[in-house]
Structure 1
Amino acid sequence: MDIKKNDILTVEITDTGTEGEGIGKLTLPAPDAADTEEKAGGKAAGFTLFVKDAVIGDTVQVKVMKAKKNYAYAKLEKVIVPSPFRVQPPCAFHRQCGGCQLQSLSYEKQLEFKQNKIRNNLVRIGGFDPEKIDACMEPIIGMEDPWHYRNKAQFPFGYDKEGNVVTGFYAGRSHTIIPNTDCALGVEENQQILEIILRFMKKYGVSAYEEVSGKGLLRHVLIRKGFASGQLMVCLIINGKKLPEEQRLVDELWKIPGMTSVSVNVNMERTNVIMGKKVRVLKGEEKIEDSIGDVVFRISPLSFYQVNPVQTRKLYGQALEYAGLTGEETVWDLYCGIGTISLFLAQKAKKVYGVEIVPEAIADAKENAVRNEITNAEFYVGKAEEVLPRKYEEDGVYADVIVVDPPRKGCDEKCLETMVRMRPGKIVYVSCDSATLGRDLKYLGENGYEVKAWRGCDMFPGTVHCEVCVELWRKVL
């Protein structure tokens, strides 16, 4: 059977891909089969279909969008027999929006998918023995309520085909806005804030930014909420120096309970980077507060702060457990951001050193230390792979425990080399990408460290992303 673009096929979904797509194996019918039978799918060894929005266990009708020799990408046309794991998503836009990939999959099955994804990357990329990885695997940490968990959202503005101003989220792999003011992952106040802004733009003729021309004023709005404090922040990103009639907008936003900070951020560059460097407060404070455990953090529009505070507390609690601190240890926290993990650990450590490349984040970390009366934490601006070797080689600073929480690309090789040379008794690796985690753990495993325990933490329900925390011990030779 020669499979080509626009073919309509029927297939049973038997697996889930790393990006959440359904995977089915197509089987060839006998050579004398009728064309209708052929299109219904029969026994064909080796031909794989990748189907976005299909769920493991579904039998689906699909349309081939791109065909290769042994596989094809297909669009879901119809669910013929729904999977027992298929659920009705609360968001009507989940198939169009690029934000969620797993909303149609039951939450229990989402957790299973994420645990398996981490495990497979540790085995395939890290080169670990499957039995060893299974033996030190702990159950993934899920959420009791996997909705409305995001404390931060950034909404772009643009125009629909009729020329109306819209906001929402981008469609997958595009910058086409899917109009939606009620995201099922965001806080409930988002909808009220967005509708106030849209009415304001229409009433006062405020233009939306257009990427192609570089013209238009309002680019994005950033909304944050402190879950512990109830404080709200709105930051409007503009392609200009001032928002017309801005006080009228501020007055409307200020009626929302919890509103603490309204500001504008100027970004006049032709770039996909959302935020500019300058923030001007229109009313209230520049920063809002939130807490992780007993530690209070002050967060600006430009601060990096974990988007799911409920799960962040669980994740950092797991990191603290793996660190096994007694109050006598010196701890290094690499890629420390605004000090979230550092200050969490400082409550149980003798001394904590944090390193972060972003100067503003280190300023926030120092402020947060003062805010919480934590005096045993020091913070340094710079690349972890540069600061760590310098402090170790020139100043003789050592580490009993090193905690790393790098970006998706993982740890720099020079940073890993220095960690190994410092010979800490423990390394706790917090990762947002299990593929680069596998790569880095392979290096550490080849250089004197062994994995003692690992545990996934679902920070992003409804999506394919997952955090994971790993405990490594230095091998006793």
Structure 2
Amino acid sequence: MRVLRIERLDRRGFGQAEVERQGRLRPVAVPYTLPGETVRAVLTDWRFKGHRIAAVQTVLERHPARIEPRCPHFGTCGGCTWQHIDYAAQVAFKTERVRDLLEAHGLPADVVRPAVGMDEPWHYRNKMEFTFAPDGAPGLNRLGHYDRPVPLDVCYIAHPHMFRMAAETAAWARAHGLPGYDKRRHEGLLRYLMVRRARSDGAVLVALFAARPPDDPALQAAARDWVARLQAAADEAGFRLAGLYWVAYGGLSDAVGYDDVRLLAGEGFLVDTLGGMRYRLLPQTFFQTNPVQAEALLEAALALAEPEPDMRAIDLFSGVGTFTLPLARKVSAAVGVELVPESVEAAWENARENAVPNVTFLADDVRRGLDRAVEHLGGRVDLLFLDPPRSGAGGKVMRKIGRLGPPVVIYVSCNPETFAPDVRELSAFGYRLVAVQPVDMFPQTAHVELVARLERAGRSSEQTPRNQAPDRS
């Protein structure tokens, strides 16, 4: 047992303290603590992303922002890590985290605006992926453990209708004696339960991921009973069940796979709205999981971009067009570049559904696709959006953007740690960071997203190179 003083929050939102081991002070991560607190803790043998973890036994000196967690599963379930922090303080900590990261990379921190928080930071998620425990009960994994799900009685970040589907599925699995999938032994049946809800009309879509399809008579009967139970629960609760899927995935990895997809009931898709656009959502469609804050993120991006009717724009990592389509309505032409063919197909469908004729989507790697997009726009690019995955765009993509030289770059980031080094790459090309707007997409966690505007000094759209040879680097 040790008494530890919490010095700061680390990048995962854990408290960080120092302990003396072998004559040296070494960092230790202390989950569920706050800076300035003194705690009595036990050093564990568990390491999480390189740091040894200390388990808090008693909080001796409390931070003023410490509150009682709302959820009875907090501290064991890994879904939330910040329920012990007052929400206003959560938002403030996220603002400071972005500022600290920029300063650490030699970038200006004074351009960071206060993070946009939520009026109601509970029940905000429109998609949940539950993992099945050995007894068939769906839950969420323990913090830092991919194979130790915690069965849940309640979940305060999911909409109640979504959790109702999980609870009914748990009762069904117990009634039929269907085991969860053991990720170490690769045995069992039930792997994941994905539940999506449309904010537009409250409809719900459910996909059950299993190790094999329901081909034998016993599983066929169980599948029919699952459909009946969930439909009855939806009718009782007063929402529409848009689709029930059984998805077989036989791979050994922990990823969500789609080997054999079977629609058991319903039309099989949701229609949701974002930024005045309608989007068709299947189980595998990527879509922002916090619809309220997704609107805030989109509004911030368009406000920072300041699009004009005569502009030509490119959107890299365009997905199903969630930024490309609203942007296209404000400029003369827009091109989205996306690697995943299914997302590109969905983007074209979304463009037709929303009557956006001045947009083109290219299925390509962003480096090659950027050349094609420039050619499609006649060599002139006034505005460039990018919304890369958590790993960031990477140096090669950022340098390619820098050589292209669009006057304005709008960078939407789901990971400030990769955003900062990406932005530094553009500094060598005369870009300066003008504004950064953090958005709290995931209350009760340390995760923060942002949108930023970069401008190239002394460069106008008329000076953008035209008809130049494509940059193949």
Normalising by structure 2, we get a TM-score of: 0.89
Matched residues, percent identical? 29
Secondary structure in 1 aligned to 2:6? strand
Distance 2:358 2:348 in 1: 11
Matched, 1:266 2:234: no
1:15 corresponds to: 8
Mark the CA change 1:391 to 1:82 in structure 2 (over 3 Å): closer, same or farther: closer
The whole-number CA distance in structure 2 between the counterparts of 1:360 and 1:271 is 22
Is 1:247 aligned to residue 221 of structure 2? no
The Cα of 1:260 is off from its aligned counterpart by 1.0
Matches within 5 A, 1:293-312: 293-312=275-294
- Letter of the aligned partner of 1:11 in structure 2? L
Question: Residues 381-417 of structure 1, C-alpha deviation per residue, up to 9 Å, x if partnerless?
Answer: 1111121124436984431100000001111333223
Equivalents in 1 of 2:46, 2:302: separation in Å? 48
Partner of 1:236: 208
Matched, 1:118 2:122: no
Aligned-residue offset at 1:422 = 2.2
Whichever residue aligns with residue 451 of structure 2, its letter is: C
8 A Cα contact 1:336 1:342, kept in partner: yes
Inter-partner Cα distance in structure 2 for 1:269 and 1:47:
39
Structure 1: give runs of 5+ residues left out of the alignment: 1-7, 28-43
Distance 2:394 2:378 in 1: 21
Aligned to 1:98: 78
Asked if 2 retains the 8 angstrom alpha-carbon contact of 1:98 and 1:172, the reply is yes
- Counterpart check, 1:196 vs 2:168: yes
Could you say which residue in structure 2 is the equivalent of 1:84? 64
Corresponding residue of 2:88? 108
Q: Residue 458 of structure 1 aligns to which amino acid in structure 2? A: D
Aligned ranges for residues 15-414 of structure 1 at < 5 Å?
Answer: 15-24=8-17, 49-65=28-44, 73-125=53-105, 127-128=106-107, 132-134=108-110, 136-159=111-134, 164-174=135-145, 175-242=147-214, 243-245=219-221, 246-255=223-232, 256=234, 257-392=239-374, 396-414=378-396
Code of the aligned partner of 1:51:
V
Deviation for aligned residue 1:46:
5.7
RMSD: 2.3
Q: Kindly tell me: are residues 50 and 210 of structure 1, through their superposed partners in 2, closer, same or farther at Cα, counting changes over 3 Å?
A: closer
Moved more, 275-284 or 359-368: 275-284
Matched length: 444
1:344 CA displacement: 1.8
CA separation of 1:281 and 1:397: change in aligned 2, threshold 3 A: farther
Q: Which residue of structure 1 lines up, in the alignment, with residue 469 of structure 2? A: none
CA contact (8 A) 1:167 1:179 kept: yes
Distance across 1 between alignment mates of 2:62 and 2:434: 40
Preserved contact between residue 133 and residue 151 of structure 2 (Cα < 8 Å): no
SS at match of 1:281: strand
Could you give the per-residue CA deviations for residues 23-74 of structure 1, whole angstroms, max 9, x where no partner exists?
34679xxxxxxxxxxxxxxxx9966553221223433211123699xx9642
Residue type of the alignment partner of 2:117:
G
Q: Hey, what's the Cα distance between the residues in 1 that align with 2:29 and 2:132?
A: 32
In structure 2, the CA distance between the partners of 1:46 and 1:201, relative to structure 1 (3 Å rule), is closer
